[in-house]
Amino acid sequence: MRYPVQESAPTRFRHTANTMAIDGIDRAAKKLVLTVQDYSLFAHHAVMNLFRPPRYWPEFLIQSDIIGVGSTSIVLLSGFFTGGVLALQSASTLSAFGATAMTGRFVSLTMIRELGPVLTGVMVSGRNASSMASELGSMVVTEQIDAMRALGVDPMRKLVTPRLFACISMLFFLTIVADAFGILGGGFVTIFMNHQDGPQYFSSAWEALRYPDIVQGLVKPLFSGFIIASIGCFYGMRTSGGTEGVGRATIQAVVTASVLIIFVDFFLTQILLSLFS
């Protein structure tokens, strides 16, 4: 015959705490899976809209202007000063080996392969993922999205798809701007602060570049652009809870987009390096 085991109070408390912790993890995991599922459907819908009419080309041009032209100054400045810092740092290290002539090569390869795309992605994410999330979020909480649906217009087509493709295409060109100004910034530091030979800097920067480096640098912004717009619009369109919800959606959009850009960059670099090695 078996007797029921009487649990002591601390044991019962421990069991309750464990159950609560497991429930919490369970809820968080389910929420995460649900969010990923919703995001995948959202992104799929946004992409597929490009292949079915109606297409809103004026909205695409407006968003290209907002994202592309509007972000040029921050991308240009961040690229220029990042290139400058790279030249400063590398020159001091390379001089120990008597290899300061390699500064141009170092700056151009680092900017084009890695820093140009990632930095541009993060900068544009800070500016545009936040603006998309807050703009669409405000439209959700003030019922403007419902009003658009009630007027027979699909907000995914009118608001999300143009932002997505404008962001992808503009990030490509912004990355080229960041790369160019990064190399110029490095050149400025090399010539006017390190007092080294300018033509040598630019010729080593040019000669170091190979076709795979350019491809690597220009494939990444396509992914970053997709991440910025899809995440910004996704969090904006699922905003709830009034103005506080808009603030929450904006923070989530910027954090998620920035982390995802770096995360995806890591895997893309691995894939592209193995492809071109």
Partner 1 sequence: MNENPASAEPGPSPLADATPLAGPTPVVAFRNVSIAFDGPPVLEDISFSLGPGETRILLGPAGVGKSVLLKLTNGLLRPDEGSIMLFGHEISPMPEEQLFALRTRAGMVFQEGALFDSLSVRDNVAFQLIQEGVPDDEIDLRVRDALRFVELEETFALFPASLSGGMRRRVAIARALIHQPELLLYDSPTGGLDPVTSTTIIELIVKERDVFKTPSLLVTHRLQDAFTLCTHRFDSEQGRMVPLPKGHTDPNTTFLMLEEGHLIFDGSLHELLHTENKFVREFLE
Min separation Cβ 169 and partner 1, Å: 22
Residue with tokens 């041009």: 61
What is the total count of residues that contact partner 1 (CB under 8 A)?
15
Hey, which residues between 20 and 59 contact partner 1 (CB under 8 A)? 54
Cβ(71)–Cβ(175) below 8 Å: no
Closest CA to 161 of 18, 31, 56, 53: 56
Q: Is there binding between residue 1 and partner 1 (CB under 8 A)?
A: no
* Number of residues written out for the chain: 277
User: Which CB atom, from 5 or from 150, has the smaller least distance to partner 1?
Assistant: 150
Buried b (16+ CB within 10 A) or exposed e, 87-117: bbebbeebeeeeebebbbbbbbbbbbbbbbb
Give me Rg for the CA atoms of the chain. Answer: 25
Distance of CA 181 to the CA centre of its chain: 20
Looking only at residues 153 through 172 of this chain, which bind partner 1 when binding is defined by CB under 8 A? 153-154
| Position 152 contacts partner 1 (CB under 8 A) | yes
CB of 35 to partner 1, least distance (A): 15
CB of 66 to partner 1, least distance (A): 11
Q: CB of 142: closest distance to partner 1 in angstroms?
A: 6
Choices 5-13, 75-83, 151-159, 227-235 (CB under 8 A): range interacting with partner 1: 151-159
149 is an interface residue for partner 1 by CB under 8 A: yes
How much helix, strand and coil, in percent to the nearest 5, is found in the chain?
90, 0, 10
Residue 142 in contact with partner 1, rule: CB under 8 A: yes
Q: How far is the CB of 175 from partner 1 (least distance, A)?
A: 28
Interface ranges with partner 1 (CB under 8 A): 54, 138-139, 142-144, 146-154
